């Protein structure tokens, strides 16, 4: 910031006068609105190599102030230009995210008010609001009033907190005998959580998913029985409510029955698909999820929130506080009684941003029906994508539409598996480089697969058709 009469005051070099603050704020808001308005015409992906970016960005930190407008221009041109347009209507890769504008403003508010949401003392209003929003989520998922939860950075954090909570609740702490079970379709964050929590590879059973990409109950039963007979302590089953690769949903009712019978903790990783319960079909597909002992959700996925916000709900809410509550002397002033909550007592973070503001603002601004319609539309588009894939002789369907995911590949006439992999990988790279759209790949039963993930509330049938048409008509190479 150049020190001018409207710039920083000489007395406090880190302060700006109100008029300058307003002017700079408007510049940023105008820029964001222009970006969103032009997304469709922009490339869905742009990136650069380290070698290209190093000379542009490598420099020592400046001792002197810089001009904010010039810095803004530079950060947009030289930095943000090279970030994925995850909210682009034809970004169908990985798990797309498309935040609403009230959600984006909610994050700005949280930063501007600088809310510290670790303790009730320092954030009673936002903490009360988080309790309210968590109750909405509990209600949607079929959880009882005594369930409790918290908002976190994302599903990776939620899965970690769930795993530690289950361990504390059932085992009373670390145990070298304890065993965790999940299918090969489970997200890597669960394995990472187990690693962070000190579980060794021989404490994890990764069971091959069945023909529908689900956790097979018979194999699970056998593995648990074998371990119990060998003196191990089976304690945790992790099930998917929307596996990342295929969208598959594990059989929650049967799993809940099994876990109740064996006194095992059932954790539902519903990071990807959990908010589909807002729709009628989603609720039917996710039947039984409310019987899980804990549920991970990711509002920054299918609840259209800006990064970062995940959520963990625990059915027996008291177990969450029992697992994480610690009261050091220097926080004794923050002690709560009655119904008030120090969210720091429920998980990993003491300093927490008010992530709830964006969720509350956007749900209030649009109403839940708008979110339900957006999710329903994405489910329809995914089914339509499958129909088009099945109709095209050039394609082979590898995993049918499940939630917003469909997996397939271009046929390579006369080609073996490596030839299919090379040609399809070239299609992924070619589409992404073209700027038209972006998709990603996965493996379905070991075979290289193109994967579409349709969730964005801006994605139209025309967008899906353009991407599929490109993949169908592009000459094969590789």
Residues forming contacts to ligand PLP in the complex (CB under 6 A) are 95, 154-156, 187, 189, 242, 244, 269, 271-272, 298, 310
The token duo for 287 is 């039947």
CB of 36 to ligand PLP, least distance (A): 22
CB of 186 to ligand PLP, least distance (A): 8
Which among 2, 310, 58, 335 is positioned nearest to 162, based on CA atoms? 310
In the bound state with ligand PLP, the residue whose beta carbon lies nearer, of 334 and 459, is: 459
Rounding to the nearest 10 degrees, give the CA dihedral for residues 217, 223, 227, 232: -60
Question: What stretch of H or E contains 269?
Answer: strand 265-269
**Chain position whose Cβ is nearest to ligand PLP:** 154
CB of 242 to ligand PLP, least distance (A): 6
Number of residues in the chain: 478
In the bound state with ligand PLP, the residue whose beta carbon lies nearer, of 99 and 242, is: 242
Other Cβ atoms closer than 10 A to 39: 18
In the bound state with ligand PLP, the residue whose beta carbon lies nearer, of 160 and 169, is: 160
Pairwise CA distance, residues 34 & 176, whole Å: 55
CB of 326 to ligand PLP, least distance (A): 24
In the bound state with ligand PLP, the residue whose beta carbon lies nearer, of 123 and 240, is: 240
As beta bridge partners, residue 181 has: 205, 237
In the bound state with ligand PLP, the residue whose beta carbon lies nearer, of 250 and 269, is: 269
Burial class of residue 336, CB neighbours in 10 A (0-12, 13-18, 19+): middle
Pairwise CA distance, residues 10 & 20, whole Å: 15
CB of 55 to ligand PLP, least distance (A): 31
In the bound state with ligand PLP, the residue whose beta carbon lies nearer, of 1 and 104, is: 104
In the bound state with ligand PLP, the residue whose beta carbon lies nearer, of 155 and 357, is: 155
Which among 169, 115, 178 is positioned nearest to 343, based on CA atoms? 115
Pairwise CA distance, residues 422 & 81, whole Å: 29
Q: Give Cα 421 to chain centroid, integer Å.
A: 28
In the bound state with ligand PLP, the residue whose beta carbon lies nearer, of 95 and 444, is: 95
CB of 251 to ligand PLP, least distance (A): 16
CB of 440 to ligand PLP, least distance (A): 11
Cβ–Cβ < 8 Å for 107, 357: yes
Pairwise CA distance, residues 253 & 307, whole Å: 32
Which among 1, 23, 22 is positioned nearest to 12, based on CA atoms? 1
Three-state DSSP class for residue 18:
helix
In the bound state with ligand PLP, the residue whose beta carbon lies nearer, of 248 and 423, is: 248
Other Cβ atoms closer than 10 A to 77: 11
DSSP 46-66: ----HHHHHHHH--PPPSS--
Burial class of residue 354, CB neighbours in 10 A (0-12, 13-18, 19+): buried
Backbone angles phi, psi at 258, to 5 degrees: -60, -45
In the bound state with ligand PLP, the residue whose beta carbon lies nearer, of 119 and 245, is: 245
What are the strands of the beta sheet with 395-402, ordered from one edge? 395-402, 405-410, 447-453, 440-444
In the bound state with ligand PLP, the residue whose beta carbon lies nearer, of 98 and 271, is: 271
CB of 461 to ligand PLP, least distance (A): 25
CB of 444 to ligand PLP, least distance (A): 16
Distances in Å between the Cα of 385 and the Cα atoms of 380, 402, 403, 449 are 9, 11, 12, 15
CB of 467 to ligand PLP, least distance (A): 20
CB of 450 to ligand PLP, least distance (A): 18
CB of 268 to ligand PLP, least distance (A): 10
Pairwise CA distance, residues 21 & 207, whole Å: 56
In the bound state with ligand PLP, the residue whose beta carbon lies nearer, of 227 and 293, is: 293
């Amino acid at each position: 910031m150049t020190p001018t009469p409207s710039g920083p005051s000489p007395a406090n070099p880190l302060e700006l006068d109100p008029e300058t603050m307003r002017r700079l704020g408007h510049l940023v808001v105008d820029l964001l609105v222009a970006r969103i308005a032009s997304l469709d015409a922009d490339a869905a992906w742009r990136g650069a190599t380290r070698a290209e970016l190093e000379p542009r960005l490598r420099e020592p930190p400046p001792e002197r102030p810089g001009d904010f407008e010039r810095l803004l221009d530079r950060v947009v041109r030289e930095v943000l230009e090279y970030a994925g347009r995850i909210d682009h209507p034809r970004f169908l890769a990985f798990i797309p995210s498309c935040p609403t504008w009230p959600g984006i403003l909610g994050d700005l508010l949280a930063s501007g008010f600088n809310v510290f949401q670790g303790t009730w003392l320092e954030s009673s209003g936002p903490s009360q609001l988080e309790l309210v929003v968590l109750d909405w989520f509990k209600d949607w998922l079929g959880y009882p009033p005594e369930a409790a939860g918290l908002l976190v950075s994302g599903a990776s954090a939620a899965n970690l907190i769930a795993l530690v909570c289950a361990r504390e609740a059932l085992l009373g702490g670390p145990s070298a005998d304890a065993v965790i079970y999940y299918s090969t379709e489970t997200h890597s964050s669960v394995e990472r959580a187990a690693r962070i929590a000190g579980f060794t590879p021989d404490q994890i059973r990764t069971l091959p998913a069945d023909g529908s990409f689900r956790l097979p109950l018979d194999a699970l039963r056998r593995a648990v029985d074998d371990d119990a007979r060998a003196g191990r302590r089976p304690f945790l089953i992790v099930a998917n409510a929307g596996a990342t690769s295929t969208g598959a949903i594990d059989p929650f009712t049967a799993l809940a029955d099994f876990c109740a019978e064996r006194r095992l903790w059932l954790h539902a990783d519903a990071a990807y698909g959990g908010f589909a319960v807002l729709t009628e079909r989603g609720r039917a597909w996710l039947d039984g999820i409310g019987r899980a002992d804990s549920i991970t959700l990711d509002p920054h996925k299918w609840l259209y929130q800006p990064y970062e916000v995940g959520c963990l709900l625990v059915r027996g809410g008291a177990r969450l506080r029992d697992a994480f509550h610690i009261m050091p002397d220097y926080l004794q002033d923050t002690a709560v009684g009655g119904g008030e909550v120090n969210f720091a007592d429920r998980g990993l973070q003491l300093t927490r941003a008010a992530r709830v503001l964006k969720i509350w603002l956007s749900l209030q601004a649009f109403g839940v029906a708008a979110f339900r319609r957006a999710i329903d539309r994405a489910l329809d588009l995914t089914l339509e994508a499958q129909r088009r894939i099945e109709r095209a002789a050039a394609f082979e369907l590898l995993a049918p539409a499940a939630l917003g995911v469909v997996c397939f590949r271009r046929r390579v006439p006369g080609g073996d598996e490596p030839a299919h992999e090379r040609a399809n990988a070239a299609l992924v790279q070619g589409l992404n480089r073209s700027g038209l759209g972006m998709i990603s790949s996965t493996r379905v039963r070991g075979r290289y697969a193109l994967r579409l993930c349709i969730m964005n509330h801006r994605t139209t049938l025309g967008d899906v058709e353009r991407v599929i048409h490109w993949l169908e008509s592009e000459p094969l190479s590789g």
